[in-house]
């Protein structure tokens, strides 16, 4: 686009020079003989050095860069640290691990001793006089009743399950549930890693496009300035000015849209880092480093079924199937050993201290169909879990194939986009040459400039799509840990 502006400036100055030179030539001189251009009038614009390709300086409020974000991400390590401490997805995954661990302890508690203590105190408020038996002393008369007015009681009870098939079976199930929660947390880390890398790439891409749109606007403003000069000299028409003004208006629209995309991407990065504010990316963060950090944070797997989400789905199937199998043990009898120790201050008791031990056998006979209904529920849950596992395996395998192919496609698109950009640049250059020699039109000039600008933007997008594709291919066959 700078070449386009320089060429148009050359045209403008060339027409000016030719007009002055024609007036100073002798009537009989050879029209092909060059003449020396007169010095510029006082107050006129200085001519542009055509050999250096300089462009006239233009100024516009929209050429100012977009406002700086309130926060800037300086390194990938900082991003990982913030995500670890502020990501709601990771916090939810850790909470699910804690929930599974708590449920496991609840199940295990069903097979451990249950010890409880109790105490009571009774104080009588209404009294009478009568006879009562006090300990071993026999009947005593004229006693204030109830006697004693205050009675203290204390006791300790012990219950130890000895035989409980369902509890023992559920202990193994609860351990599997913890493993499933841990695998789910690993997959949450993998997805969070991928989302974080993508949003960082998105911010850098949006900022680069914003810069490209401003460079294009600056070039179009310079072209408009040169076209207006030519119009004043009679070398261009009002249609040429309108065309360049349309191109400037289109470039302004691109700037507005690019700036809004930058703001949205920065806000997305802030949300990914756990902040409601917009975050920018420091210029020293390299995209190649993102792929290197991804390889350092993630361990590759040979088979997509070894990925954390597939492992979590397999473990969920195992948990649901064990839960369905556990229901049948609810009909089995249970045997508990119980022991009670008590102490009382009531003198009417034969012994203030009592201690007993016994066994309790419980045989379920009929519970209203609750166990059968629970089994139906667990079987349905197991069926749904198996279907989710099937989907997880299919998606993992398809994702692995598509992402690997996506790298090849992205690299091919990038190469083709660069070729198209070079062709568009050459086409724009030839259009300028044709316009200089009078064989081209201003429409061709503006059209090829538009194609060149679109090609430059496409190259920028395709370049970052290659980085995204490589990260996606890595995550498709990896387990990550932040």
Asked whether residue 199 carries a pLDDT value surpassing 90, the answer given is yes
Which has more pLDDT, 245 or 28?
245
Q: Which range has the worst mean pLDDT, 172-176, 219-223, 441-445?
A: 441-445
Peptide bond into 146 cis (omega under 30): yes
CB 355 within 8 A of CB 338: no
What local confidence, expressed as pLDDT, does residue 346 receive? Answer: 80
What local confidence, expressed as pLDDT, does residue 40 receive? Answer: 43
Q: Which range has the worst mean pLDDT, 64-68, 392-396, 410-414, 476-480?
A: 476-480
CA angle, residues 282, 283, 289, in degrees to nearest 5: 90
Q: Comparing C-alpha atoms, which of 99, 281, 111 is closest to residue 182?
A: 99
For the chain, give percent helix, strand, coil, nearest 5.
65, 15, 25
- C-alpha separations of 108 from 93, 167, 176, 293, 437 in Å: 23, 7, 13, 41, 91
CATH superfamily, region 56-112+164-333+367-480: Outer membrane efflux proteins (OEP) (1.20.1600.10)
| pLDDT, tens only, 254-265 | 999 999 999 999
Q: Which range has the worst mean pLDDT, 139-153, 157-171, 363-377, 430-444?
A: 430-444
What local confidence, expressed as pLDDT, does residue 21 receive? Answer: 37
Q: Which range has the worst mean pLDDT, 9-13, 227-231, 356-360, 408-412?
A: 9-13
Which has more pLDDT, 439 or 89?
89
C-alpha span between 103 and 96 (Å, rounded): 10
What local confidence, expressed as pLDDT, does residue 12 receive? Answer: 39
Largest CA distance in the chain: 162
Query: What value does the mean pLDDT take over residues 38-61?
Result: 51
The top-scoring range by mean pLDDT among 200-214, 375-389, 465-479 is: 375-389
Q: Which range has the worst mean pLDDT, 131-140, 308-317, 342-351, 384-393?
A: 131-140
Asked whether residue 28 carries a pLDDT value surpassing 90, the answer given is no
| pLDDT, tens only, 269-280 | 999 999 999 999
Identify the H or E element spanning 249: helix 238-273
Beta strand 478-480 with 298-300 is: antiparallel
Asked whether residue 25 carries a pLDDT value surpassing 70, the answer given is no
Q: Comparing C-alpha atoms, which of 271, 281, 313 is closest to residue 88?
A: 271
Q: Which range has the worst mean pLDDT, 123-127, 171-175, 203-207, 418-422?
A: 123-127
The model's confidence at residue 247, banded by pLDDT at 50, 70 and 90, is confident
pTM greater than 0.95 (yes/no):
no
Query: What value does the mean pLDDT take over residues 238-260?
Result: 90
């Amino acid at each position: 686009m700078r070449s386009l502006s320089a060429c148009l400036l050359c045209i403008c100055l060339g027409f000016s020079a030719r007009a002055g030179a024609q007036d100073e030539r002798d009537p009989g001189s050879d029209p092909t003989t060059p003449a020396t251009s007169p010095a510029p009038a006082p107050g006129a614009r200085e001519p542009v050095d055509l050999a250096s390709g300089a462009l006239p300086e233009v100024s516009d409020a929209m050429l100012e860069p977009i406002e700086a974000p309130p926060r800037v991400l300086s390194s990938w390590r900082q991003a990982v640290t913030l995500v670890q401490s502020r990501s709601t997805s990771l916090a939810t995954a850790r909470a699910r691990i804690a929930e599974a661990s708590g449920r496991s302890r609840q199940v295990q508690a069903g097979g451990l001793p249950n010890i409880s203590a109790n105490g009571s105190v009774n104080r009588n408020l209404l009294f009478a006089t009568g006879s009562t038996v006090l300990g071993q002393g026999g009947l005593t008369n004229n006693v204030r009743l109830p006697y004693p007015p205050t009675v203290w009681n204390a006791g300790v009870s012990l219950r130890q399950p000895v035989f409980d098939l369902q509890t023992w079976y559920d202990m193994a199930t609860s351990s599997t549930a913890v493993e499933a929660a841990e695998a789910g947390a690993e997959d949450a880390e993998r997805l969070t890693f991928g989302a974080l890398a993508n949003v960082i790439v998105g911010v850098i891409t949006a900022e680069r496009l914003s810069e490209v749109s401003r460079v294009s606007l600056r070039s179009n403003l310079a072209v408009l300035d040169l076209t207006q000069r030519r119009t004043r000299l009679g070398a261009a028409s009002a249609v040429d000015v309108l065309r360049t003004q349309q191109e400037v208006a289109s470039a302004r629209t691109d700037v507005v849209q690019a700036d809004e995309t930058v703001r949205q991407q920065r806000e997305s990065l802030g949300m990914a880092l756990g902040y409601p504010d917009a975050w920018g990316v420091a210029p020293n963060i390299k995209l190649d480093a993102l792929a290197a950090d991804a390889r350092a944070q993630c361990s590759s797997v040979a088979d997509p079924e070894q990925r954390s989400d597939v492992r979590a789905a397999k473990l969920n199937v195992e948990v649901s199937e064990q839960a369905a199998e556990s229901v049948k043990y609810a009909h089995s009898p249970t045997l508990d050993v119980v022991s009670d120790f008590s102490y009382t201050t009531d003198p009417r008791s034969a012994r203030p201290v009592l201690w007993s031990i016994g066994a309790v056998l419980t045989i379920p006979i009929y519970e209203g169909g609750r166990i059968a209904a629970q089994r139906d529920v667990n079987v349905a849950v197991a069926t749904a879990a198996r279907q989710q596992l099937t989907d997880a395996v299919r998606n993992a395998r398809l994702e692995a194939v598509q992402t690997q192919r996506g790298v090849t496609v992205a690299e091919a698109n990038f190469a083709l986009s660069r070729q198209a950009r070079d062709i568009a640049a050459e086409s724009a250059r030839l259009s300028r040459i044709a316009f200089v020699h009078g064989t081209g039109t201003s429409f061709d000039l503006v059209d090829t400039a538009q194609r060149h600008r679109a090609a430059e933007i496409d190259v920028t997008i395709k370049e970052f799509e290659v980085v995204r594709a490589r990260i996606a291919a890595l995550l498709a066959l990896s387990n990550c840990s932040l």
